[in-house]
Amino acid sequence: MKQWLANKGMQYLFLLFSAVLGVVVAVVSVQADGAVGDEKTDWAVIAGVSAFAVVLITHLERRLVERSRTRAEERAIRAEADMTKLYSTTLRPLSERLRELTVLYAGAAPLPSPVPPQTASDLRQKRKDILDQVLAGAVSLSAPPVGPSFVLRARCSFYRYDDATGDFTLEGTFPGIRQPRQVIDPTGAAHMKNEILDTGKTFRIDGVQEDHSYLVPRGSGYKAVIAVPVIQGTEKIGILSLDAPEYTDFIDHHVTLMESLAGMLAASYALG
């Protein structure tokens, strides 16, 4: 209640004063219509003061609104800067160190071949848990839902790459509202392999340098894409793709976020 009064109370108070003074001006205009001499002058002064007060209150209200908007913009800029710093100086380096440690450990203490069935099953389940968290985290940290429906706007998917066939097969997606393709067609697969996996570079559709990709066919409801290669050592594991309805849904630090999440996902595939 106190927060509401602090944010809206003064605006509604100014509105009330403006309305009252507006009524005063109207009443004075009617009352002064038949007045003469000093009486007419008095009514004119009252009307003039009231009209000036209306203008002044309107100006103060506008200044209050502008000040509130400026404060909101400053908070948003600070929040974005803090998030960028977090992604760039903390999350991404941490994901890289984690991947390096996992690869080193897997090389020093490889699993027996073949892997016992129960161990293989446990690894698959743990890896799936990590994948689910990566997909959900990418969506919630990049393009969270907005009112009034609060439907998730972004979609994150992971396509596993098969080096023997060259195919990309969907291994997970979140949310499940609009399902992506289960298997990428040969032309799209070649695009993903040549431009993302082989280069080891993030591919982004921002509407400026790139405006279309096989990752999001036209009519799918998505325009913006950030597609990151998931690579563990020399093994090309797949591609982590984040889609959003509008190009403006993504900004530069979302690329860092996705690269960090891809590093964590790659680490989960290093152990067998």
* 176 plus 105 within the same structural domain: no
3-state secondary structure at position 224: strand
The neighbour count for residue 144, using CB atoms within 10 Å, is 11
Structure tokens at 111: 């699993």
What local confidence, expressed as pLDDT, does residue 95 receive? Answer: 80
**Same domain flag for 81 and 143:** no
**Tokens 């698959």, residue?**
124
User: Which pLDDT value is given to residue 142?
Assistant: 84
Q: Are residues 86 and 182 in the same domain?
A: no
Q: Provide the residue range defining the domain that includes 167.
A: 114-270
Residue that is last in its domain, among 58, 85, 110: 110
Domain with 192 in it: what CATH number? 3.30.450.40
| Domain total in the chain | 2
CA distances 176 to 139, 166, 173, 184, 263, Å, are 12, 26, 7, 18, 24
Question: Are 88 and 131 found together in one domain?
Answer: no
Same domain, 71 and 199: no
Same domain assignment for residues 96 and 139? no
Q: Are 263 and 232 in contact (CB under 8 A)?
A: no
Report yes or no: 237 and 200 within 8 Å, Cβ to Cβ: no
Segments of the chain scoring below 50 in pLDDT: 4-5, 30, 77
SS3 state of residue 9: helix
**In whole angstroms, what is the distance from residue 247 CA to residue 251 CA?**
9
143 contacts 136 by C-beta, under 8 angstroms:
no
The Cα 157–Cα 134 span in angstroms is: 10
The verdict on 1 and 77 lying in the same domain is yes
Specify whether 213 is located in the same domain as 256: yes
Cα torsion through 195, 200, 206, 207, rounded to 10: -10
H or E element in which residue 236 lies: strand 235-244
Other CB atoms within 10 A of residue 269 CB: 22
Q: Indicate whether 75 and 160 sit together in one domain.
A: no
Task: Please check whether residues 63 and 149 belong to one and the same domain.
Answer: no
**Domain C-terminal end among 49, 75, 110:** 110
168 in Cβ contact with 187 (< 8 Å): no
Q: Are residues 91 and 173 in the same domain?
A: no
- Residue 194 confidence (pLDDT): 92
Domain boundary among the residues 110, 125, 147 is at 110
Asked if residue 126 and residue 101 are part of one domain, the reply reads no
Q: What is the pLDDT of residue 3?
A: 53
